[in-house]
Structure 1
Amino acid sequence: MGYAVLHLEKTSGTDSAMSAHIERTIAPKNADPERTYLNRELIKFPEGVSNRTQAIQHRLENAGLQRKISKNQIRAIRILLTGSNEDMKRIEADGKLDEWCNDNLRWLGETYGKENIVSAVLHLDESTPHIHATLVPIVTTERRKKKSEEQVKKQYCKKNPNAPRLSADDVMTRSKLKKYQDTYALTMSKFGLQRGIDGSEARHISTSQYYRELFAKNENLKENIDNLLEKQKNTEKELSKVKSEVSKEKFKNAKAEMGANLMDGVNSLFGGSKVKQQQAEIEELQSENNSLKEENRSLKTELQTAQKEHEKITDKLRAELKKIYSLFPKLRELLSIERMCRLVGFSEDLTKRILTGNKVGFKGSLYSAEYKRKFSTEHSSAQIEPEPGKPNKLRLAIDGVDIIEWFRMKYREFQRSIGIDWAERNVGRGRKM
């Protein structure tokens, strides 16, 4: 049984950096750009509001606050809601992700006030499905007085103790944070998620630190490929550097030779210690040039060795890939079908099951790039099967038909549902649909 994950973090200023991450105005390195279209905002913004930053400001302006908001006051709290990686993928594969999202929204509204949750974005383009919710901490309880204020006996005009206030501290007291974890885990228990150990040494890390660690793990997986590419890049750099140094060396040698000839002429005419000193300096420079030539020859040898090693590794990889394709002739098509599964929105678990060749039942929504929309199904099956008339070719079939034709059928159903008769649209076009 996995764990429910709930993390609260105070923001600073307008929190524009996190808004850019949540709304994907800046693409993070740990996100798959081919799945970003699956992300969605779960809360409808008020009229005239189009993003998270505006939603925060709209709530502050319409909350009926009586006190002026100070420059350093916390205006919003970030809330991350998710679960253990394997359990979240299981929830997605079982078609329960929408139910999980709805239960999260209900818990947020009951816990903090529905009007205070101004944004909740579901991210499906990272390794674990999760929700970024934004809470504007408006409270109506009486403000806790400081000890210094309790000692002051001056009489002031009494204010309404239940008037709305902006207070992140009231929302994030130690006792309330513990209560949030308890009630959230209770809500998530139906999905097989449990609360972390109460009082354990585990501590929250910031969202930025979470992504840094996640990115570091991802980088380790790519290390071998990156090392090879870096080696190739360095080899090309060294080659360019050597060519440049060889050109400079030729110029220096010509310059030194001209200087030596000139000094010989001057020395023969005038003689003198100064001319001899300059001649000695020229000879020293020539010696340095000879050393540099030798160094260049050594560098060229190293470069040639590195190039040969790179070519050897590249040839080996190509040969291995060719051998794999030869032993498994349908691998190219399976890789193509795997990419198609990800593009239409199948989870990683469902994709693996489909690639085994078995018929896999599913429900949910699939995305069509042709029609730029999602099509829902309550019960369908996906299977890889030979293409009719081409037994050596494979295709992805949904409910027994090619997935492209399945999308067309779904699009026609959609048109009929809004009053467009497909048969009427094609009258006089000289073809049957």
Structure 2
Amino acid sequence: MPKARVWRQGKRTLRLCANDLLTRERLIAYHDSYAAAMAKYGLQRGVRGSEARHTTTAQYNRDLKRKTGELEANVRQLQNEQQQAERQLDEVRKDIKSEKLEAAKTEAKAALVAKVGSLLGSGKLKELEADNRTLQDEVAARDESIELLQQQMERQQEEYQRQLMELQARHRREMADKEAAHQREVSFLKSIIQKAKKWFPLFQELVYMEKFCLKVGFTERQTATLISGKPLFYEGELYSEEHRRKFTTEEAGFQVVKDPKDKSKLALAINGQVIGEWFKEQFGRLFSSVKRTVEPLRRGKGMGL
């Protein structure tokens, strides 16, 4: 409580006290006059005798933060629903031929508008309905464009199929022509071979002799020399198909001659001897050598017993 100040002027004493100035009646009058002055600005006076208490700043901030959070949550929910509606709209655009999807599109839009309207109020509902009609018009225009594109794609597909069939038919004709030409060439070569066999009785024998020389171990160049009837000097290994092994020879002379037993056939001779006989001699010598080596061992083993 403020302290009273006292001035003394002569014999008279002046006294100034807050309790005398700020009485309850005067404070009420001050509130009434202030409310009347501020009424034009929308400020209303508190109710007399009310038991309401002033909200603290901390509580006011908490309430404001809570309301702000609720408003932000509503905004996020509305944004999510808007994104979902856009995705649904894109899905509807991708399948314009399905009547069920068209109906679902309308129902989904109506449900979305109703839900958004319940969140934003009837004033926003009309605005969303107008946006919905605009979107429907855009969808209809897009659907028409997509239909035109599909028709163009169908025409291009038909043209592609036509060109593909023409290319396939052309390819079949070319393959048939090549096959026919190949058959004619094979037939011609067969006729040439038959004539060669007829004109040259030893032609077939030369073919067999070529294979035989290559199998024995001669190179293609050496074989060509032998087939031409020229002599060939060779030193190295020779393979015997009959004995399934190789035999080594020092430098010897080889030549293709007529078979001494059948003049209509050819034979490969080594130093004037038919190579088949030479192979038998070489194998006999090898067998005898092995036999001479094995028999003493057997006898020694028998004496030990």
Same fold (TM over 0.5): no
TM-score by length of 1: 0.31
Q: Which has more helix, going by share of residues?
A: 2
TM-score by length of 2: 0.42
Max Rg structure = 2
